[in-house]
Amino acid sequence: MTLHRLAIDSAARHPDRLAVSCGGDTLTYRELDDAANRFANRLREHGVGRGDRVVLWSDKSVDMIAAMQGVLRLGAAYVPMDGTSPVARVTMLAADCGAAAVCTDAGRLAEAGTAIAGSAPCLDLHSPSTMDIDPVNEESDDRDLAYILYTSGSTGVPKGVCVSHRNARAFVDWAVAELAVGQHDRLANHAPLVFDLSVLDLYAAFAVGASVHLLAAELAYAPAQLVQFLYEERITIWYSVPSALVLMVRDGGLLERPAPAALRVVCFAGEPFPIGGVRSLAGWTDARLLNLYGPTETNVCTYHEVTPADLDRDRPVPIGRACSGDTVWAQRPDGTVAGRGDDGELVVTGPTVLLGYWGAPPQRGPYHTGDIVRVLDDGSFDYVGRRDHTVKVRGHRVGLGEVERTIAGHPDVDDVAVVLVGSGIEARLVAFVVPVRDRTPGPLAVKAHCARLLPSYALPEHVHIGPDLPRTGNGKLDRPALVRRHTELVARRAERGLVPAGQKGKAR
Amino acid sequence: MKQAEVTDALMKFIREEFLWGDDSRELTESTPLLEWGIIDSLRTALLLTHVREQLGVFVSPAKINARNFRDVTSIATLVVAEAPEDPPFADATNTSNSGKAGQA
C-alpha cells in the first residue's frame, strides 16, 4: 500500500480530527486532504505526473506537509530541502534529480526562479484556495519512488537515497504496531523533514488519524522552548536525536517538573545516547524508552527497549535486534557471520532497504551499513563505531571527505583537513585551511563557499587558516594532532577570557 | 532600546562567541547567518539566552523563525520590537554586570 493512502484513509474516517499543527497553524484531516488535492491539481497543470520528482524547499509548515502529500498523490516523489538551504544547493540538487518542479515559499520564489532559470517551473508552495480540490490519487505501485533524501556521502558527493512507498511503509507499519499508536496520540516532530526520523512522526500519525506537532527548526535546540513544547502540545510520543533530550535535561529544567502523564513513549536515534541521560529520563518518566537504529538507507532496522537492567551499564544501551521485517547480522572482514562477543559490520536485508541512490544502479542484495557492531549474548547488537571517515553531528552522518573536497574547491585554498572535535551535543566540525600562496581567504569566505554546496549540518563551525597541516612520519595527515591543535587554540582564547559559546562549563 | 545599540551588541557577541573574534572583520550586518552556518539551531538558542540575560528581552517562541534570524539587522529589528515598553536596563549594552533578567 502507498504512503499517501494513510492520510487519504484517515481523512475519510476522521475528517474533523486534528492532523498537523505548526506554530499555531493547524489542519484537520479534511483540510489536509483538500490542501493536498489542491496542490496536486496545480502541479498537474504544470505537467507534473507519475514518476516525476518535485523539490520542496521550505521551512516547516502545515502547507509543506500538504505539499508532500500532494506530490505523492500524483505518483511523483518529493525531495525535501530545508528553508535555510542556500539557493545554489537547491539548484544543484534539483538538477541532480531532474526535478519537474521546484516549490518554495513566496519569499524565495524570485531567487529560485532566477537560479533555476527555466529548467523547471518554480511554484509557490502555498496554494491559493481557489484551486479545485478534486481528489487526486494516481495509480501507483508500492515499489515506486516516494521520496529522495540527500545525505552526505563518504566519497565526497551528496547522495540521493531513493525510498519507495514499500520501504517507508515497512517501517511505519512496524512502528505503529510496536508503539501501539492510536488516534488519540499526539506525536512530536523534532527532526527536520530532510531527516528520516521525521518519517515516523508524520506517517505513524497519519496511519491512525493521530496528530503530528511540528517544532520549528530554529527551536530544535532551544532547551526551555523544547520543554515548553512537550508540555503545551501534550505530546504522547516523542522522537528525536539524543542531543535534544540531553539539552532538555541539562539546560531546560525538564527533570524539575513532574513528567507529563500523557507522555507514554520516548524514542531516540541517530547517535549513541550517553547512559547517564537515559538514567535521568528513566527516573523521571514511566514512558517507554526506545533506542531506534538505522541509516537513512534502511530507515529503522533494529531497536531496543530500555529495561531497568540497562541502567547499570557503563556504556550506551544496545541498538538491539531487527525490526521492520528486516534481517540483520554482523559480518566479519572475511565475509563470515560474527558470533557472540565478536565485532563485525552490520548488514541489512529486507523491505526497508533503499531502492538505490539516485543516478546509480539499483541496490541489489543486502545493504552494508559501515557501522561496526558487537554481537551480545542474547544475539542483539551493541554499536561500536564507524568503519570509514564518516562522523555523526547531532544525528546527521557527515563524510569528512565531502567537506574537505568542498573546501578544496575554493580557489584560494591549497590544502585542507576537517576533523570532528567533541562528542554528543558538543560535537563540531573544525576545518584547517592552508591558503594558496599570497592569498588570504577569511574563515567566513570559506563558510560561505561551503554553504552553497553542503547541507547545513555538514558546515564547519570553525575554520582555522594556517601555514601547514601536521603529518605523521610516513606523510599521512595527523588528525589527532589537528584535534589537539584546535584544543590548544581554544585554551589560548580561554586564557584571554574568550571562551567560544557552548564550551563554557555548564552547571549540571 | 535603540536599533543601533542592539546591532552593536549582537555583532560583538557573534564575533566573539561564534567567529573567534572575527579578526579579518568579515561579518557585516547583512551576512546571511543561518545560510552560512554561522548560527544554527543550537547557536540560535545561545544567542537567545544572551539576548535575554544581557538585553533583558525575551523573544517569544512564535517569533523564532528563519526570516527573523536571517542576519544581524533582522535579529536587531526583532529584539527592538520584542523589548518591553520600559526596558529593565536603560543602557543594557554597556552594563553587562547589571544582573540577569530573572528568567528561569
In tens, the pLDDT along A327-336 reads 999 999 999 9
Most confident range, picked from A153-162, A176-185, A269-278, A498-507: A176-185
Question: pLDDT at position B100, please?
Answer: 40
Residue A271 · residue A394 · CB < 8 Å? yes
Question: pLDDT at position A235, please?
Answer: 98
Residue A34 · residue A133 · CB < 8 Å? yes
* Average pLDDT of every residue of chain A: 92
Interatomic CA distance for residues A19 and A3, integer angstroms: 15
Interatomic CA distance for residues A176 and A104, integer angstroms: 31
- The ipTM value here is 0.76
Give φ, ψ of A162 to 5 degrees: -95, 120
Name the pLDDT band for A282 (thresholds 50, 70, 90): very high
- Using the predicted structure, report yes or no on whether residue A341 has a pLDDT greater than 60: yes
CATH number of the domain at A394-506, out of 3.40.50.300, 3.30.300.30, 2.40.50.180, 1.10.150.120? 3.30.300.30
Range B49-74 average pLDDT? 89
Q: Provide, as residue numbers in chain B, all residues whose Cβ is less than 8 Å from the Cβ of A216.
A: 61, 64-65
Assigned CATH for A1-140: 3.40.50.980
- CA distances to A7, A14, A63, A179, A183 from A208, in Å: 9, 9, 20, 12, 5
- CA distances to A102, A116, A351, A458, B36 from A91, in Å: 9, 6, 32, 18, 16
| A141: Cβ contacts below 8 Å, ≥ 6 apart | A165
Distance from CA of B60 to the nearest CA of A (A): 9
- Using the predicted structure, report yes or no on whether residue B93 has a pLDDT greater than 80: no
Q: Tell me which residues of chain B, numbers 9 to 68, contact chain A at a CB-CB cutoff of 8 Å.
A: 16-22, 24, 26-27, 31-32, 34-38, 40-46, 48, 61-62, 64-67
Question: pLDDT at position A154, please?
Answer: 55
* Chain B nearest-CA residue for A453: B36
Give φ, ψ of A42 to 5 degrees: -70, -45
Helix (H, G, I), strand (E, B) or coil at A372: strand
From A225, A451, A462, residue closest to B36, measured CB to CB: A451
The neighbour count for residue A316, using CB atoms within 10 Å, is 19
* Chain B nearest-CA residue for A486: B20
Question: pLDDT at position A66, please?
Answer: 97
Question: pLDDT at position B92, please?
Answer: 45
Residue A133 · residue A114 · CB < 8 Å? no
Range A438-466 average pLDDT? 90
Question: pLDDT at position A261, please?
Answer: 94
Nearest residue to A266 via CA among A289, A236, A300: A289
Q: Between these two residues, A154 and A321, which has the higher pLDDT value?
A: A321
From A59, A443, A457, residue closest to B66, measured CB to CB: A59
Give φ, ψ of A22 to 5 degrees: -155, 115
Beta strand segments in A83-192, E: 101-104, 122-124, 145-151, 159-164, 186-189
Reported for A177-184, long-range contacts at CB under 8 A and 24+ positions apart, including other chains, are A178/A303, A178/A323, A179/A204, A179/A237, A179/A265, A179/A267, A179/A288, A179/A290, A181/A205, A181/A207, A181/A208, A181/A210, A181/A237, A182/A208, A182/A210, A183/A14, A183/A17, A183/A208, A183/A209, A183/A210, A184/A210, A184/A236
Interatomic CA distance for residues A367 and A100, integer angstroms: 29
Indicate if the alpha-carbon torsion angle A174, A359, A99, A159 is positive or negative: positive
Range A213-224 average pLDDT? 90
Share of chain A above pLDDT 90, in %: 72
* Chain A nearest-CA residue for B28: A444
C-alpha cell belonging to residue A348: 541489512
| B10: Cβ contacts below 8 Å, ≥ 6 apart | B47, B51, B72, B75, B76, B79
Nearest residue to A469 via CA among A448, A444, A486, A454: A486
Helix (H, G, I), strand (E, B) or coil at A213: strand
Which of A220-229, A354-363, A382-391, A456-465 shows the lowest mean pLDDT across its residues?
A382-391
Interatomic CA distance for residues A174 and A169, integer angstroms: 8
Interatomic CA distance for residues A407 and A159, integer angstroms: 18
- Using the predicted structure, report yes or no on whether residue B103 has a pLDDT greater than 80: no
Residue B14 · residue B39 · CB < 8 Å? yes
Interatomic CA distance for residues A23 and A470, integer angstroms: 48
DSSP A169-201: HHHHHHHHHHTT--TT-EEEE-S-TTSTHHHHH
- Using the predicted structure, report yes or no on whether residue A451 has a pLDDT greater than 80: yes
Question: pLDDT at position B96, please?
Answer: 43
From B17, B22, B69, residue closest to A501, measured CB to CB: B17
Question: pLDDT at position A128, please?
Answer: 75
- Using the predicted structure, report yes or no on whether residue A117 has a pLDDT greater than 90: no
* Chain B nearest-CA residue for A190: B41
Residue B41 · residue B66 · CB < 8 Å? no
The angle, 0 to 180 degrees and rounded to 10, between the axes of the packed helices A443-453 and A400-408 is 120
Nearest residue to B56 via CA among B29, B18, B90: B90
* Amino acid symbol at A221: Y
Beta bridge partners of A239: A267
Distance from CA of A407 to the nearest CA of B (A): 13
Name the pLDDT band for A102 (thresholds 50, 70, 90): very high
- Using the predicted structure, report yes or no on whether residue A313 has a pLDDT greater than 90: yes
Segment A66-82, tens digit of pLDDT: 999 999 999 999 999 99
Segment A344-374, tens digit of pLDDT: 999 999 999 999 999 999 999 999 999 999 9
Question: DSSP assignment, residue A246?
Answer: H
**CA angle, A151 then A155 then A158, to 5°:** 30
Q: Where in chain A is the domain with CATH 3.40.50.980?
A: 1-140
Question: DSSP assignment, residue B92?
Answer: G
Give φ, ψ of A331 to 5 degrees: -110, 130
Question: pLDDT at position A499, please?
Answer: 56
- Using the predicted structure, report yes or no on whether residue B101 has a pLDDT greater than 50: no
Question: pLDDT at position A392, please?
Answer: 86
Interatomic CA distance for residues A246 and A124, integer angstroms: 37
pTM (predicted TM-score) = 0.83
Q: Provide, as residue numbers in chain B, all residues whose Cβ is less than 8 Å from the Cβ of A457.
A: 40
Question: pLDDT at position A504, please?
Answer: 46
Beta-sheet pairing, A381-386 with A367-375: antiparallel
Q: Provide, as residue numbers in chain A, all residues whose Cβ is less than 8 Å from the Cβ of B64.
A: 216, 218-219, 222, 225
Question: pLDDT at position A85, please?
Answer: 87
C-alpha cell belonging to residue A442: 577569511
* Amino acid symbol at A202: L
Q: Where in chain A is the domain with CATH 3.30.300.30?
A: 394-506
In a 10 Å sphere around its CB, with 0-12 CB exposed, 13-18 middle and 19+ buried, how is residue A358 labelled? buried
Beta bridge partners of A26: A21
Nearest residue to A123 via CA among A45, A235, A236: A45
Indicate if the alpha-carbon torsion angle A214, A182, A323, A235 is positive or negative: positive
Interatomic CA distance for residues A431 and A417, integer angstroms: 6
Interatomic CA distance for residues B63 and A77, integer angstroms: 32
